[in-house]
Structure 1
Amino acid sequence: MTNKTTQIQATGKYLRLSTAKTRRVLDQIKGKKYQEAILILEFMTYKPSKTIKKILESAGNNALNLKYEKQNLIIQQAFANDGPKLKRFQPRAQGRAFRIQKPTCHITINLSIN
């Protein structure tokens, strides 16, 4: 008999957040219990924490659909990958234009059962 752990996943794609700043928040909740992570994200002042909280709640609701209790969930993985960069131009003096790259990211959160 093998001990198979169930993976519950939620993903947010093409989010207008910096990958580095998002990873800083995700590192705070890795390995934490579901309820504890929600509480941490609620009181964080960083911009990505609101979006990450929504994705985490979505993963929790996915677990409810599979008949698992939210208090038994642990954040197994939480990572942010680079998305496509939005290319924009900033007008400068004498007809020049400077290029601005606005980053996007994809956030994935995997939960597992105790």
Structure 2
Amino acid sequence: MEVKALARFIRVSPQKTRVLAKNIQGMPVEDALNTLKFTPKKGANILSKVLQSAVANANQLPGMDIDALYVKRVCIDEGPTWKRIRPRAMGRATRILKRTSHITVVVDEL
């Protein structure tokens, strides 16, 4: 039975987080958490928290074996973008795009 966890409006670029999502997809949960723990990227900590939330959601269901869980699907969608202005030379301005992500993690039993 699938169990999912969702984190929305996370202040990390979806492009940078998708690289981590590809690494852990299909792994057992314990291996995925260890991989994220030793990955030196900002998105790894956030993705780890969402994965732990999915495991906690699975723990609430009766008859679910926590040790047999694996990461079935990780979906990193783009959230709204914050638009900021940076002053440049000769009175011009450049737009800075601060991107956000919606992270969905689905775990299932083997």
Matched, 1:82 2:78: yes
Contact 1:35 1:70 in 2 (8 A): no
1:109 is displaced (CA, Å) by 0.4
Q: Any idea what the Cα deviations from partners look like across 1:18-37, whole Å, max 9, x if unmatched?
A: 11110000111000001111
1:94 is displaced (CA, Å) by 2.8
Per the normalisation by structure 2, the TM-score is 0.94
Letter paired with 1:105: S
1:93 is displaced (CA, Å) by 2.4
Q: For residue 27 of structure 2, give the secondary structure of its aligned residue in structure 1.
A: coil
Matched, 1:16 2:15: no
Q: What does 1:1-12 align with in structure 2 at a 5 Å threshold?
A: 6-12=1-7
Q: What does 1:95-110 align with in structure 2 at a 5 Å threshold?
A: 95-110=91-106
What residue number does 2:108 align with? 112
Letter paired with 2:52: E
Runs of 4+ that moved beyond 4 A: none
Per the normalisation by structure 1, the TM-score is 0.91
Q: Any idea what the Cα deviations from partners look like across 1:22-78, whole Å, max 9, x if unmatched?
A: 000011100000111111111111110000000000000000011323211011100
Q: Distance in 1 between matches of 2:29 and 2:88?
A: 48
Contact 1:76 1:111 in 2 (8 A): yes
- Structure 2, unpaired ranges of 5+: none
- Identity fraction in percent: 34
Stretch moving more, 93-102 or 25-34: 93-102
Q: Distance in 1 between matches of 2:88 and 2:23?
A: 40
What residue number does 2:44 align with? 49
What residue number does 2:22 align with? 27
Aligned residues: 109
Matched, 1:93 2:89: yes
- Structure 1, unpaired ranges of 5+: 1-5
